[in-house]
């Protein structure tokens, strides 16, 4: 299992557009990928846009993403790249 924790810097938070980028990336991988809003302690499947949006992640909220499965290393690298490229996290 791999784990990534970061703070959201997007001024609007994890809204539909950035969430769609990371859910599209997450869907490329076989491993299970879960995202948690550490402020509310709610967790969602990162492969489901609607689930991610229900977390209500806002700017400066801490998120944790957990990867579990055969391609977890590649998945964590891909997700981290998307998060940084779209300025969702630093």
Please list the active-site residues.
Answer: 15
Q: Alpha helix locations (H) across 4-57?
A: 16-26, 49-53
Cβ–Cβ < 8 Å for 67, 33: yes
Q: Within 13 Å, how many C-alpha atoms sit on residue 32's CB side?
A: 7
């Amino acid at each position: 299992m791999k784990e990534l924790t970061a703070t959201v810097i997007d001024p609007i938070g994890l809204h539909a557009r950035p969430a769609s980028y990371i859910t599209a990336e997450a869907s490329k991988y076989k491993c299970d990928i879960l995202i948690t809003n550490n402020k509310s302690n709610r967790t969602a499947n990162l492969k489901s846009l609607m689930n991610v949006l229900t977390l209500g992640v806002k700017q400066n909220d801490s998120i944790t993403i957990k990867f579990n499965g055969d391609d977890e290393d590649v998945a964590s690298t891909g997700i981290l790249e998307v998060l940084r490229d779209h300025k969702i996290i630093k």
